[in-house]
Amino acid sequence: MGLKTKSDYIESLRQMQPTVYMFGERIASVVDNPRLRAAIEATGATYELAEMEEFRDLIVTESPLISEPVSRFTLPPSSIEDLVARVKINRTLGNRVGTCHQRCTGLDCLSALAIVTYDIDRKYETDYHNRFQKFLKYMQKNDLTANAGVTDVKGDRSLSPHEQADKDMYLHVVQRRDDGMVVRGAKAHQTGSISSHEIIVLPTRALGKGDEDYAVAFAVPTDTSGLIHVVGRSSLDTRELDGCDIGNVRYSKYCPTVIFDDVFVPWERVFMCGEVEFAADMVARFSAFHRQSHGGCKSGRIDCMIGAALTMVDYSGTGKAGHLKQKVIDMIHRAETLYGCSLAASYEGKAEPSGAYFIDPVLANASKIHEGRELSEAARLLVDIAGGFVSDLPSDRDVENPEIGNLVKKYLKGVDDVPVENRIKMYRFIEKLVMESADTISDIHGGGSPEAHRLTIFRESDLASKKKAAKRLAGIKE
400 has a pLDDT exceeding 80: yes
Q: Is the pLDDT of residue 445 over 80?
A: no
Residue 35: closest CA among 186, 303, 242, 308: 242
Q: What is the pLDDT of residues 308-348, one digit of tens each?
A: 999 999 999 998 899 999 999 999 999 999 999 999 999 99
Mean of the per-residue pLDDT values of the chain: 93
Q: With 80 as the cut, is the pLDDT of residue 442 above it? A: no
pLDDT digits (tens, 9 = 90+) for 133-142: 999 999 999 9
C-alpha–C-alpha distance, residues 269 and 286, integer Å: 18
Residue 81: pLDDT band (50, 70, 90) is: very high
At 202, the pLDDT band (50, 70, 90 cuts) reads very high
Buried b (16+ CB within 10 A) or exposed e, 62-90: ebebeeeebbbbbbbbbebebbbbbbbbb
The pLDDT value recorded for residue 418 is 96
**Taking 90 as the threshold, does the pLDDT of residue 114 lie above it?**
yes
Q: What is the pLDDT of residues 164-174, one digit of tens each?
A: 999 999 999 99
In the chain, the N- to C-terminal Cα span, in Å, equals 64
Reduce the DSSP state of residue 206 to 3 states and report it: coil
| pLDDT category of residue 443 using cuts at 50, 70 and 90 | low
List of domains in the chain: 6-277 (2.40.110.10), 282-462 (1.20.140.10)
Q: pLDDT, tens digit, for every residue of 13-40?
A: 999 999 999 999 999 999 999 999 999 9
Alpha-carbon distance of 228 to 21, in angstroms, equals 8
According to the model, what pLDDT value does residue 447 have? 61
What does R_g of the chain's alpha carbons equal in angstroms?
23
Q: Does the pLDDT value for residue 1 go beyond 70?
A: no
pLDDT for residue 372 is more than 90: no
Provide the whole-model pTM: 0.92
The pLDDT value recorded for residue 220 is 98
* pLDDT tens by residue, 83-97: 999 999 999 999 999
Q: How far apart (Å, rounded) are the C-alpha atoms in residues 181 and 267?
A: 7
**449 — pLDDT class (breaks 50, 70, 90):** low
pLDDT of residue 66: 95
Query: What count of other Cβ atoms lies within 10 Å of the Cβ of residue 404?
Result: 12
Q: Label residue 451 by pLDDT band (50, 70, 90).
A: low
In this predicted structure, the answer to whether residue 305 has a pLDDT above a threshold of 70 is: yes
Closest CA to 439 of 314, 298, 345, 231: 298
> Higher-confidence residue: 438 or 149?
149
Tell me: pLDDT of 467 over 90.
Answer: no
